[in-house]
Amino acid sequence: MSMPVTHRKLFGTDGVRGMPGQFPLDDATVYALGLAVGALVRARGGGRVLVGMDTRESSPRLAALVGAGVVASGAEVVNAGVLPTPAIAQLVPRLGFDAGVIVSASHNPFQDNGIKLVGRNGQKLPDQSELELEAEVLRASASVPAHVPPLAVEPSLAELYLELLRAKVPGERPLDGLTLVLDCANGAASRLAPELFGSLGARVVALHCAPNGRNINAGCGSLYPMSVAERVRGKPGTLGVAFDGDADRAIFATPAGNLVDGDGVLYVAAQHMLAAGTLRGSVVVGTLMSNLGLEHALAELGLQLVRVPVGDRYVVEEMLRRNANLGGEPSGHIIFLDDGPTGDGLLTALKVAHWVVEKGPLEMHLRGLRYCPQKLLSVAVRARPPLETLGSFPALLQQAEAALDGRGRVVVRYSGTEPVVRVMVEAEDAEQAEFWAHRLADALEASIGCKK
């Protein structure tokens, strides 16, 4: 399994992230990235690159720049237009493309953007390939063309993606009788999700499906699922789903007023796949952030939770290494490796909705899962020095771990997509988790926080 690579200048755990117009998303760097991607696929005997994007106002310009670079390298570009990240991951291997480029900053606000890359298998590029691309981009000196026209869109690709999803469940109207409240985060799922679930028989209530370039993830979507929760509370036969801006995540809400994150979905999926005889390897792959309660609940089923660093690429790599076919993250990235190469919020929602129609309300499937109290805090930072160099912080971290005495967990890590450090503490009771999370976060704030 590859491990996260630090001290990069371009790539984080999920592609290149930043503010458009500023390094690493300035025109010259994005164009150089397109050149490097095109050169890479041509060096490997290919020549076709598929591009997609989310609904941010900056996305068309960034897509045009990276596309111009790809074309200048001698490769061909096809633009799928606004599509979820997992749609590009599905379509690249399906249609024989050599790489995919997705312009999106996922769950971040509209001011941010990013560029994600997938290989010809639809999976995110391994660390080594990203390092090669980064080195090529940083030594490039090509001038950006004076005129970079927008990329023409191939509209048939969106319908092909929907056809691939519809084929994942049997019958013409497998969701008859279910009401789905869909929060599409004013993002890439805004048109596709209502169309998909409506065509399969569900009664759809669509929220936040009117993107204007600046309202993506704005108080809506998977980071803000309470609006969906309020709409389904107390309404039997209803299921709420909140996607993020590029629709690779899904968080669920139930009529009982519960929110179900990725850990809950992994537990539900493991039960169904185990009963159907389709779960491979007796393992489920999660991350350092997966709740200890999930580990215990899976053990009751005779399954092992294997943890990897945060980032769905590391989940997929471990799944491939172990020949496993179920993995994911609490954030709502769920990977059904038999169905696709990466996490797909629409696919996850489709499977969960079908299980609800077939087997009953989602709460029934969650009875064996008891979450351990967990507190997660984020501290905005002005720098990212190694945590072990931060004065008295390592001693405080050891003190917290000793206090939990093996009955909880502490995870402190820098985000790969934002300038923050995450502090997560699990404990036997909520007060203990709260206490240590705040002590650690306060120490980090005093040492490297932006407010200092």
- For 169-219, write each residue's pLDDT tens digit: 999 999 999 999 999 999 999 999 999 999 999 999 999 999 999 999 999
Q: What is the pLDDT of residue 142?
A: 79
**How many structural domains is the chain composed of?**
4
Are 218 and 340 members of one domain?
no
385: domain CATH number? Answer: 3.30.310.50
pLDDT for the residue numbered 331: 95
* Whether residue 58 sits in one domain with residue 153: yes
Residue 91 domain flag: yes
Tabulate helix, strand, coil % of the chain (nearest 5): 35, 20, 40
Share of the chain above pLDDT 70, in %: 98
Higher-confidence residue of 418 and 86: namely: 86
Q: Does residue 244 sit in the same domain as residue 264?
A: no
Same-domain status, 332 and 313: yes
Same domain (yes/no): 225, 318: no
| Within-domain flag for 4 | no
Which residue among 365, 390, 423 closes a domain? 365
- The predicted-structure confidence for 84-101, as pLDDT tens digits, reads as follows 999 999 999 999 999 999
Place of tokens 């995450």: 422
- What ranges make up the beta strands (E) of 372-446? 374-380, 409-414, 420-426
Distance CA 413, CA 6 (A): 12
Domain assignment present for 1: no
H/E run at residue 346: helix 345-359
Residue 327 has pLDDT above 60, yes or no: yes
| Whether residue 151 sits in one domain with residue 18 | yes
Within a domain: residue 5?
Answer: no
Q: How confident is the model at residue 387 (pLDDT cuts 50, 70, 90)?
A: very high
pLDDT digits (tens, 9 = 90+) for 249-296: 999 999 998 999 999 999 999 999 999 999 999 999 999 999 999 999
Identify whether 201 is part of a domain: yes
CA–CA distance, 30 with 66 (Å, rounded to integer):
6
**pLDDT for position 171:** 92
Q: Are residues 59 and 147 in the same domain?
A: yes
Stated pTM of the model:
0.91
Could you please report the per-residue DSSP string of 175-208? TTT-EEEEE-TTTTTTTHHHHHHHHTT-EEEEES
Q: Does residue 3 sit within a domain?
A: no
Q: How do residues 25-38 score in pLDDT, each as one tens digit? A: 999 999 999 999 99
Task: Give the CATH number for residue 347.
Answer: 3.40.120.10
User: Is the pLDDT at 307 greater than 50, yes or no?
Assistant: yes
Q: Give the pLDDT score at 7.
A: 59
194 and 265, same domain (yes or no): no
* One domain, residues 243 and 321: no
- Residues spanned by the domain of 17: 11-159
331 is catalytic: no
If asked whether residues 410 and 430 sit together in one domain, one would say: yes
Per cent of the chain over pLDDT 90 is 90
The domain boundary, picked from 312, 334, 365, lies at 365
pLDDT of residue 3 exceeding 50: no
Please list, in sequence order, all residues whose beta carbon lies within 8 angstroms of the beta carbon of residue 96, skipping any fewer than 6 positions away: 48, 120
Alpha-carbon span 393 to 195, nearest angstrom: 51
Contacts of 1 by beta carbon, 8 Å cutoff, 6+ apart: 308, 314, 317, 318, 321
Exactly one of 106, 222, 415, 447 is catalytic; name it. 106
The number of C-alpha atoms within 13 Å of 275 and in the hemisphere containing its C-beta is 8
- Asked if residue 55 belongs to a domain, the reply is yes
Domain boundary residue, one of 259, 286, 310: 259
Q: Does 252 share its domain with 281?
A: no
Q: Both 249 and 274 in a single domain?
A: no
Report if residue 230 sits inside a domain: yes
Residue 4 confidence (pLDDT) above 50 = no
pLDDT confidence of residue 5: 44
CB 84 within 8 A of CB 216: no
